[in-house]
Amino acid sequence: MPNRSSTTKIIFLLRLIEACIGSKSLKQGKIIHQCILKLIGEDFGSQSPHLDKLVRFYLSCNRHQLAHRVFNSIPNHSRKNKTILWNQIIRAYAWDGPFEKAVDLYNEMVDTGVIPTKYTFPFVLKACSTLQDVDSGVKIHGHAKRYNLENDVYVCTALVDFYVKCGYLVEAREVFDGMPRRDVVAWNAMAAGFSLHGLCLDAIGLVSEMQNKGVEPNSSTIVAIMPSIAETCRLREGRAAHGFCLRRDFHDDVVVGTGLLDMYGKCGKLVHAKHLFKTLALKNEITWSAMIGAFVTCDYVEEALELFKKMRMEASMTPSPVMLATVIRGCAKLNDLNVANQIHCYTFKSGYVSDIIVCNTLLSLYAKCGSMNYMIKFFQEMQAKDSVSYSAIITGCVQNGNAEDALQMFHKMQLSGFEPELATMMGFLPACSQLSALQHGICGHGYSVVRGFESNVSLSNALIDMYNKCGKIEEARLVFDKMHGRDVVSWNAMLVGYGIHGYGKEAILLFQNMQNEGAQPDYVTFVALLSACSHSGLVSEGKYLFHVMSQEFKILPRMDHYFCMVDLLGRAGLLDEAHNFVSTMPFEPDAHLWNALLSACRIHKNIELGEAVSKKIQSLGPSSTGNFVLLFNMYTTAHRWDDAAVVRITQKDLGFRKRPGCSWIEVNGIIHAFVGGDRSHPQFAMINKKLDELDVEMKIMGYSAESDFVYQDVEEEEKEKILLYHSEKLAVAFAIISLKAHKPIIVTKNLRVCGDCHTALKYMTIIAKREITVRDTSRFHHFREGICSCGEFW
């Protein structure tokens, strides 16, 4: 027990402490604390009122744990009356962490019998949302009711904020709707919540609602809904918000200004974004980042990189990982491996290679620059991977034509314990499309439904494409019909489906539906339509569509459209018309387009024009082996072996090789691939036996190997063998022996199906009594009872 003189000393010391609270001098405070301890010994009890000051002092120095320790030394009967101190320590923990301690202390407070106040709840709830500790938050909500604070504006706003940040929007809305009085902070919390969870239209709607209710938005309101306006490209609302800021004088605030700048960038209004950037009095790193992002989004990558350089030089700011990710996203648009390597080096030097967001952006960069090797290598080097990393690499594989690797990565991802997300499925489903892997695709569909991804328009579009490419056009249409909101991609995907199945009339019908529903077609729509006409031989319809495209829909024809038209006219045998059409083009035709004409020349055996076209192609420089193959095929079809030989020699001299034909089929979720003459399949003996059987029966029915399709100058018997082992025949024979009779056979080929195979497959449908479908690079061939659905348009 201290004596009188020590009491005087303590009082003196506590005065000193009070002074320290103002000056936040931790060192001096600690010394004074020691002095007090010496004076009063271990018996704090009687001195506890004075210890409050020490607690406050430590809190003012941000030493929550020390403050807490002093607070704990006060006996419980005395702590009971110190609600404000409880609140202050909880607040300190909720602000800076450790956040668990805020929740623990709150629980201790309630257990001690201290009644929390309306100021307690916002703090502890903030800690709960930071921890994503829903259980504690819900319990605390119960306490608020118990203490009759459920109608308090502060408490309710805190509850809304808590529920929103934990993703419980229904509960948030319930609390919000139940509030007897709502101030601007409450409205902002709700709007920010909608914004945060991508419910953009709800967020925007809420702001008009609040204005109708007579509550004036403030700058936080603007900041809260700006991302929603940006994401939905609601330029009208964006402009209105900008005007509001000008009238209220918010516009010079960095946060508001940056939000507006970002919104204009995302809405494609680069001029406005640039203007804001120029006029904003105070800019920070985020402002610069938003401006660079605006350039990238609007495809002004050079300008973005320039500004990035300028920032480092003139403003001498160091970029944050967020900014670096934006810059890398820009680099990806350049499709230049050198740039990719440069920015990778820069990232390495900057020390951000451990930032997962930056790393994932780098993955996507390499994927878009077409470098599978760098992408895989970097992926393996990454110390930390998450589901986004896997999604990026899956999409990267698909983008580079390695769908099988994509499926493997998808499998590996799950083994690593990551659940596929929406964007993962956006990579997985196109992989199934590419492979015609129907069984994987169906699993993906099921999973997407379970996860609720089906409501996403883009995902449904990917499903439509998957079913179309797997030959299940009816399923595709079911998905299409079930969709709530369709975008232009949905229509296009379905149109493409009809096109590749040879349903030209259905495509045109769907286009009419599209117009009736007021959907605006784009240039892809017309590519799809024209190619559908081409595959169905609808010449006049195609010509009409080409005409209305520019006249009515104001869409300028591009190379693809001209290509489709040449293809359409050429296949139909209108070679001169096709040739004339090319000469009317407003820009130079490319080799690809001439190829379409050359291909038509081959089908219709017009050697004269074919040679002229071929010369044209050669003058453009040999850009692909396709030219040689076509010319070669044309000569051989005409039995002009010498000319054919010259082409083959030239091709060899120039170092071009024919791409090997490859066909594959999915059996029980496993992809079996065959190349021409392939004997490597484990069941080759059985396949061979089946092929021989089929060959005998086909010949009885009148089939003779069309050796014209063998362009090697070898003996007739040898030619037959080569044809019999064409990859599509191998795949079909394998399918017949390994799939039950009622199962459909769907074979996919990486090139156009060969003419001899096309004939042979017709016989095979009769012999094997089953339907066979082959998807080649341009369309589906459904063989049934000796007929192919393509009607020889391929």
Partner DNA sequence: ATAGGGTTAG
201 to 240, contacts with DNA by CB under 7 A? 223-224, 226-227, 230
CB of 323 to DNA, least distance (A): 6
Candidates 31-39, 132-140, 173-181, 457-465: pick the segment binding DNA (CB under 7 A): 457-465
Counting contacts by CB under 7 A, is residue 488 touching DNA?
Answer: yes
Per-residue tokens: 289: 């980042």
> Which tokens is 326 given?
């934006």
Query: Pairing mode, if any, of strands 670-675 and 662-667?
Result: antiparallel
**Per CB under 7 A, which region of 102-110, 124-132, 403-411, 421-429 contacts DNA?**
421-429
d(CA 443, CA 449) in angstroms, rounded, equals: 10
Q: Calculate the CA 667 to chain-centre distance.
A: 29
For DNA, which residue of 150, 487, 693, 708 counts as binding (CB under 7 A)? Answer: 487
Name residues contacting DNA, limited to 727-786 (CB under 7 A): 778
Pick the closer one to DNA by CB: 254 or 671.
Answer: 254
Determine, following the binding rule CB under 7 A, whether residue 448 of this chain makes contact with DNA: no
| Unique residue bearing structure tokens 């035709």 | 589
- The whole-angstrom separation of Cα 318 and Cα 351 is 12
Q: Between residue 103 and residue 142, which ones bind DNA under the rule CB under 7 A?
A: none
Q: Which is nearer to DNA, 526 or 664 (CB)?
A: 526
Q: How far apart are CA 782 and CA 471, in angstroms?
A: 9
Binding mask 530-569 for DNA (x = CB under 7 A): -x----------------------------x--xx-----
Please tell me whether residue 662 adopts helix, strand or coil conformation.
strand
Two tokens, residue 786: 């000796």
Min CB(698)–DNA separation in Å: 31
Smallest gap from residue 596 Cβ to DNA (A): 8
What single string gives the DSSP state of each residue in 468-526? HHTT-HHHHHHHHHH-SS--HHHHHHHHHHHHHTT-HHHHHHHHHHHHHTTPPP-HHHH
> With respect to DNA, which residue has the nearer C-beta, 141 or 782?
782
- For DNA, the closer of residues 94 and 230 by Cβ is 230
Give the DSSP letter of residue 676: T
CB atoms within 10 A of CB 159: 30
Interaction with DNA in 256-315: which residues (CB under 7 A)?
A: 258-259, 262, 284-287, 289-290, 293
Q: CA 470 → CA 117, 142, 406, 490, 667, distances in Å? A: 63, 53, 17, 17, 13
Residue closer to DNA (CB basis): 93 or 562: 562
Site for DNA in 629-658 (CB under 7 A): none
Rg of the chain in Å (alpha carbons): 36
Name the residue among 168, 163, 119 with its Cα closest to residue 141: 163
Tell me how far, at minimum, the Cβ of 703 lies from DNA, in Å: 31
Q: Which is nearer to DNA, 102 or 413 (CB)?
A: 413
- What minimum distance in Å lies between the beta carbon of 414 and DNA? 13
Q: Interface with DNA by CB under 7 A: which range of 22-30, 208-216, 488-496, 536-544?
A: 488-496
The stretch near DNA (CB under 7 A) out of 162-170, 335-343, 524-532, 722-730 is 524-532
CB of 433 to DNA, least distance (A): 6
Q: Please, which of residues 137-196 interact with DNA by CB under 7 A?
A: 192
Considering the complex, what minimum distance in angstroms separates the CB of residue 184 from DNA? Answer: 16
Q: Which of 122, 430, 610, 661 binds DNA (CB under 7 A)?
A: 430
**CA nearest 85: which of 46, 59, 118, 113?**
59
Task: Give yes or no for residue 21 binding DNA (CB under 7 A).
Answer: no
- Is 116:88 a contact under the CB 8 Å cutoff? no
Considering only residues 578 to 617 of the shown chain, the ones binding DNA according to CB under 7 A are 592
- Is residue 786 within 8 Å of 762, Cβ to Cβ? yes
What is the nearest approach in angstroms of DNA to the Cβ of residue 630?
Answer: 14
- Which DSSP letter does residue 663 get? E
- Distance in Å, CB of 343 to DNA, minimum: 13
3-state helix, strand, coil in the chain (%, to 5): 70, 5, 25
CB of 84 to DNA, least distance (A): 30
CB of 636 to DNA, least distance (A): 24
Residue linked to tokens 């110390």: 383
Please give the distance of CA 416 from its chain centroid, rounded to a whole number.
21
Stretch that binds DNA, among 2-10, 203-211, 359-367, 601-609 (CB under 7 A): 359-367
Residue 649 to residue 653: CA distance in whole angstroms? 6
Shortest CB 354 distance to DNA, Å: 12
Cα–Cα dist 292/308, whole Å: 7
**Which residue lies nearer to DNA by CB, 178 or 198?**
198
C-alpha distances in angstroms, 235 versus 250, 260, 266, 299, 785?
19, 11, 10, 19, 57
Q: Which of 21, 39, 255, 442 binds DNA (CB under 7 A)?
A: 255
Sheet holding 780-784, edge to edge: 670-675, 662-667, 745-749, 772-775, 780-784, 787-788
Q: Give me the least distance between CB of 531 and DNA, in Å please.
A: 4
Separation of alpha carbons 304 and 329, rounded Å: 11
Q: Minimum CB separation from DNA for residue 472, in Å?
A: 15
Segment 63 to 82, residues that bind DNA, using CB under 7 A: none
Neighbours of 526 (CB within 10 A): 25
- Which residue in the set 499, 557, 570, 676 belongs to the binding site for DNA (CB under 7 A)? 499
The size of the chain, in residues, is: 794
Task: Tell me how far apart the alpha carbons of residues 272 and 268 are, in angstroms, rounded to a whole number.
Answer: 9
Residue 255 C-beta: closest distance to DNA, Å: 4
- String of DSSP letters for 59-101: HHTT-HHHHHHHHHTS-HHHHTT-HHHHHHHHHHHHHHS-HHH
**Residue (58 or 352) nearer to DNA, CB:** 352
- Beta carbon of residue 666, minimum distance to DNA (angstroms, whole number): 18
Tell me which residues in 693-732 interact with DNA (CB under 7 A): none
- Considering only residues 329 through 358, tell me which ones interact with DNA, judged by CB under 7 A: 329, 332, 356-357
CA dist 204 and 213 (Å) reads: 15
Minimum distance between the CB of residue 735 and DNA, rounded to whole angstroms? 24
For the beta carbon of residue 563, count every other beta carbon within 10 angstroms: 22
- Nearer of residues 426 and 572 to DNA, judged by Cβ: 426
Task: List the one residue out of 531, 448, 522, 452 whose CA is nearest residue 487.
Answer: 522
Closest-CA residue to 539 (of 587, 578, 591, 498): 578
* Only segment of 16-24, 169-177, 252-260, 619-627 that touches DNA (CB under 7 A): 252-260
Within residues 377-406, the interface with DNA by CB under 7 A covers: 386-389, 391-392, 395, 399
Residue choice 47, 87, 88, 326 for contact with DNA (CB under 7 A)? 326
- Give 102 or 226: the residue with its C-beta nearer to DNA: 226
Choose between 361 and 707: whose C-beta lies nearer to DNA: 361
- For residue 752, the minimal CB distance to DNA (Å) is 11
Residue with tokens 């003189």: 5
The count of residues interacting with DNA (CB under 7 A) is 75
Pairing of strands 772-775, 745-749: parallel
Confirm or reject binding of residue 371 to DNA (CB under 7 A): no
